[in-house]
Chain A
Amino acid sequence: MITDLHKLGIKFFNKSGADMPLTDFIPVFHDWIQNNRLDDLLIDVADYSHVPAGPGTMLIAHEGNYAIDETGNQRGFLYYSKHEVPGDTVAERLASVCYRNLSACKLLEEEERTRDRMSLDYGRMEIFSNDRLHGPRTDEALAAFKPQVEQFLNRLYPHTDYEIDYKNSDPRERLLAKVMIHDAADKADTLLPRTRTDSL
């Protein structure tokens, strides 16, 4: 049942800086751990820079994983939850996941070592279920997922139109929505309050 879906992920694609070495993010993530820069319990950094089109450089947390991710040969900033996330509906949980993601993106924007070398496009994203039991890639699950995604996007971009592509030729892949907003994307700072929930 999609109502039980908590393992959710959002990836914002890079606008620039896709050629920045993945290993350059390792010290940044270690600093975040040292200085408790995020709400999650940050555990360690995992380096997969040697794997083509892989999870890149990861910041492993208890609640979820953060990554400069290159899956599909498209670099972006990824966060996905591994445990229950706050929210009564999938849309609210997506907001929680998005909040965590944007909190990290904001840090990257402020980070001296990265801010002039890369930028993210918050108007191009992937939203996915990372749970093939509660959110499988079936017509039924997709029908239930769609309104939740739209509800979340209406909250994230209340005054902007967007396109969503749910198509994926490979049925084994995760339930996924590719999103592109029509207008210029907002900054992480602007988007963050829209995703904040009382329980965060």
Chain B
Amino acid sequence: MTSWKNTLSERIPTDLAEEIDAFASQIKLKKQGKVDDKLFAETRLRRGAYGQRYDNGQRHDGIETRELHFPTNATKGPDTLWDAPGMQRIKIPFGGLSTEQMEALADLAEEYSDAICHITTRQDVQLHYVHIDDTPDLMRRLAAVGITTREACGNSVRNVTACPVAGVCHDESFDITPYARAMAYFLLGHPDTQDFGRKFKVAFSGCKDKACGLTNIHDLGLIARKKVIDGKEKRGFEMFVGGGLGPVPYEARLLDEFVAEEEILPLAQAISRVFARLGEKRNRGRARLKFLVDKLGIDEFRRLVIEERKTLPHDDRWIGYLDEVRAWEETPVRKPAELTAVSNDEEFNVWRDSNTYGQRQQGYSVATIRLPLGDITSWQMRQLADVARKYCGDNIRTTVEQNIVLRWVANGDLPALYDELKHLGLAQPGAGTIFDVVSCPGTDTCKLGISSSRGLAGELHERLATRYQQFDSAIQGLHIKISGCFNSCGQHHLADLGFYGVSRKMNGATVPHFRVVLGGQWEQNGGSYGMTIGAVPSKRVPDFIDRITGKYLEERHGNETFQAFVQRIGKRELKKVVDELASVPPYALDPTYYSDWRDPREYSISDIGVGECAGEVVSRIDFDLNNAERLYFEAQLAHEEGALRKADETAFSAMIAAAGGLVRLQNPSIPDDPEQVVPEFRKRYYDTRLFFDKYAGGKFAEYLFNHHEQRNSDLTADRVRLLLEETQLFIEATHACNARLMEQADNERKSTGDKTSARDKTANAANA
């Protein structure tokens, strides 16, 4: 019988073929019931085969949660059904693609997915709605064009990302591409990277000031540097560790200001060993390298790495890769040429202004293909491969802004390139502007999504398409980034206007919201993170953007940047704008607020996870949560003013107010005394797992316990900032727990035929 395995046997390297065959065998064994669920889940994750929303066979259809009756009850992981569609993540080291690889991706998206290739914020490609049975062949077809999905997910070294203009950039010290490539393949499958408690992300940047590499948000970040040693110029890297976004963002710490190129691989290996040995394994919420670096302190971490480095057995690859570095070069397919005439085509001129970047090499440019929401169809991908062959060859890269760039395009070819892209629907202008909205998959396909980040991004995309060119240039240059939850896959912390999905119980129903994060810094490799201000209903986010940008235009001082403006006017003033838009009309007056963007189902968070029944829900918790929000805001202000002790104490009070609210659902007599609230909360919500988020487990409750135990410890501004982040997440988790309890009460009411809705009960209790 014809098979891809036989058809491609000559084209797949033996080691890759064996790996994929082994995975195919695991699938067979799992089907025979011979592999444990957890083991199989980690096995497939390490091959990039991820779960997707509703893969537990439950879906809320807007009326109730219903079972999806797949053909079999077999599972591919704990609570994950075999036949449920999944996501396949495909690692693209440094974002580098060839035309042949683009064609393969196009075919795979068409045959196994939904004819869409999705570019992620870490330069990967993702295919959605893929059946697990199709994954071995999908992987074989990728392997035949030199792509492996190995370690694309799971507790492993994820895709090594890099600046997409490396090698052609005006600001870089040198081209980091071959270094990123070497690092990716050195760490791939390395024995010292197989025992991590959590994922490990690496990024390279050619310079310090621009955004491109985003080294500040990575577990390991390397910035190119040159240094004169003994009269000779040496190449090396400024090395940072322990950065990361996620629920609690950490900025990376400097490990070494200059690591010679001969040392970057062994040092990365030593870091991996220290991480594997000392990193948290049981508590996933604290298992990233950032927590280890924070716990040990950068000096102790550095000492351990240096000690570890001394013990490593020599590996020829440490310096062997330098031959490839020296030989690395990109070959343009066209001779350099300048644009000889000014174009009268206004659309082309707009596109050229925003979507092209003049290379360091005379006569060439980088052209950005702006992909709406990071999506490109199979047909477009195939045609784009042809266009690339004609104008730039295999010099193609994906970007962390979810776009594709064509490098080494002769300037003289830009009008013709534009025309061809236009024919493909790929000539949208506005790359890197406010129109170029970045979004993670959110509730569309992600199991963790709380609000519809893509729905909101799609809506903004449509609204901005006709307006953004009329905006003041100060507004045009802003970045919007959206995550569907606190996990930050949309990199909202780095945006001028960042948003992440949360939910709120309002008027007795659950309403999708986005928390606003303002003034993050995209430049300087993601230099600083934005301020969390408050939450607005999803449907009011476009209005919020209009108001805050309008306020910026009206009130800015001279050429003040948006970041500087946000810092200057401060949280109190910004919060007013949020509060103006915080209200939600009753359902009867306007039901649209109670569903999410581009998803007409009545909003529910039950697809994220359902806890145990907590009995009757009373409305005092709404007041308690509101109080917690207020205290949290005051804590932020105190932090901003440098009153660290006050900020710490107020943040803790906010946690106690939120926890107390939940405790009082079961024991109304408990006062806001931490010594009573914390043990009661532990007993009633932690030990019973009632507070547990389906995917985060008890992580957020531990923030409360840790804060309670470590009060009066030494405080630094950075430490308090982290405590504030944890406070905010704890309050969010309390909102989510409350919403789950309300929905459960509603479901119970339905099943017992009780005519009084939880909403009515809430109102009755409030009146009482």
Contacts and interface: CB of A to CB of B under 8 A. Distances in A.
Nearest to A27: B600
Interface string B427-465: 000000000000000001000000000110010011000
Interface in A1-26: 1, 4, 7, 23, 26
A145 to B, nearest CB: 15
Contacts of B444: 46-47
Nearest to B133: A83
A115 interface: no
B441 to A, nearest CB: 11
Nearest to A1: B2
Interface stretch (B107-115, B346-354, B576-584): B107-115
A173 B251 CA distance: 46
Nearest to A29: B600
Nearest to B6: A133
A133 to B, nearest CB: 6
Contact of A46 (B70, B114, B461, B601): B114
B425 A53 contact: yes
Of B62, B129, B455, B458, chain A has the most CB atoms within 10 Å of the CB of B129
A62 interface: yes
B375 A131 contact: no
Interface in B220-265: none
A2 to B, nearest CB: 10
B194 interface: no
B2 A55 contact: no
Contact of A43 (B59, B111, B116, B372): B59
Interface string B92-136: 000000000001001100110011100000000000110100000
A53 B380 CA distance: 9
A58 B2 contact: no
A44 B54 contact: yes
Contacts of A54: 115-116, 375, 377, 380
Interface size band for A: 35 or more
Contact of B382 (A43, A50, A172): A172
A194 interface: no
A4 B2 CA distance: 9
B85 interface: yes
Interface in A28-63: 30, 33-34, 41, 43-55, 58, 60, 62
Contacts of A62: 68, 70-71, 83, 85
Interface in A77-111: 82-83
A55 B115 contact: yes
B1 interface: yes
A72 interface: yes
Contact of A48 (B116, B137, B382, B599): B116
Given A26-B598, A133-B2, A71 B379 contact: yes
Given A50-B461, A51-B376, A58-B114, A43 B68 contact: yes
B126 to A, nearest CB: 13
A55 B600 contact: no
Given A26-B599, A43-B68, A172-B382, A60 B114 contact: yes
Contacts of A82: 131
Nearest to A49: B458
A55 B454 contact: no
Given A46-B114, A50-B458, A71-B377, A30 B2 contact: no
Contacts of B455: 47
Interface string A129-160: 01111100000000000000000000000000
Contacts of B599: 26, 30, 45
A49 B462 CA distance: 10
Contacts, number: 108
A41 B2 CA distance: 29
Nearest to A54: B377
B54 A43 contact: yes
Given A26-B599, A47-B458, A50-B458, A55 B61 contact: no
Contacts of B63: 34
B331 interface: no
A53 B220 CA distance: 40
A27 B455 CA distance: 14
Given A52-B425, A71-B379, A72-B379, A30 B114 contact: no
A53 B376 CA distance: 10
Contacts of A30: 61-62, 599-601
B600 A48 contact: no
Contacts of A134: 2
Contacts of A195: none
A45 B62 CA distance: 13
A85 B59 CA distance: 25
B376 A172 contact: no
Contacts of B328: none
A54 B426 CA distance: 12
Contact of A55 (B4, B116, B372): B116
A51 B59 contact: no
Given A33-B61, A44-B54, A130 B114 contact: no
A88 to B, nearest CB: 17
A132 B53 CA distance: 28
Interface string B58-88: 0101110000111100000000000111000
Contacts of A27: 600
Given A26-B598, A55-B377, A41 B85 contact: no
A187 interface: no
A73 B24 CA distance: 38
Contacts of B344: none
Contacts of A172: 103, 106-107, 382
Contacts of B461: 50
Contact of B111 (A34, A44, A130, A170): A130
A133 B103 contact: no
A44 B599 CA distance: 10
Contacts of A71: 115, 377, 379
Interface string B376-400: 1101101000000000000000000
Given A65-B129, A130-B111, A51 B2 contact: no
Nearest to A9: B110
Given A43-B68, A132-B107, A174-B110, A50 B373 contact: yes
B7 interface: yes
B112 to A, nearest CB: 8
A83 B134 CA distance: 10
B452 to A, nearest CB: 9
B3 interface: yes
Interface string B262-287: 00000000000000000000000000
Contacts of B375: 48, 50-51, 54
Contacts of B70: 41, 62
Interface of A: 1, 4, 7, 23, 26-27, 30, 33-34, 41, 43-55, 58, 60, 62, 65, 71-72, 82-83, 130-134, 170, 172-174
Report, nearest first, the 7 A-B pairs whose CB atoms are least far apart.
A52-B425, A50-B372, A27-B600, A54-B377, A34-B61, A55-B115, A50-B458
Given A49-B458, A62-B71, 4 more contacts: A30-B62, A46-B128, A53-B377, A54-B116
14 contacts: A43-B68, A44-B53, A47-B454, A51-B116, A54-B380, A55-B116, A58-B114, A60-B85, A60-B114, A62-B68, A72-B379, A132-B111, A133-B7, A134-B2
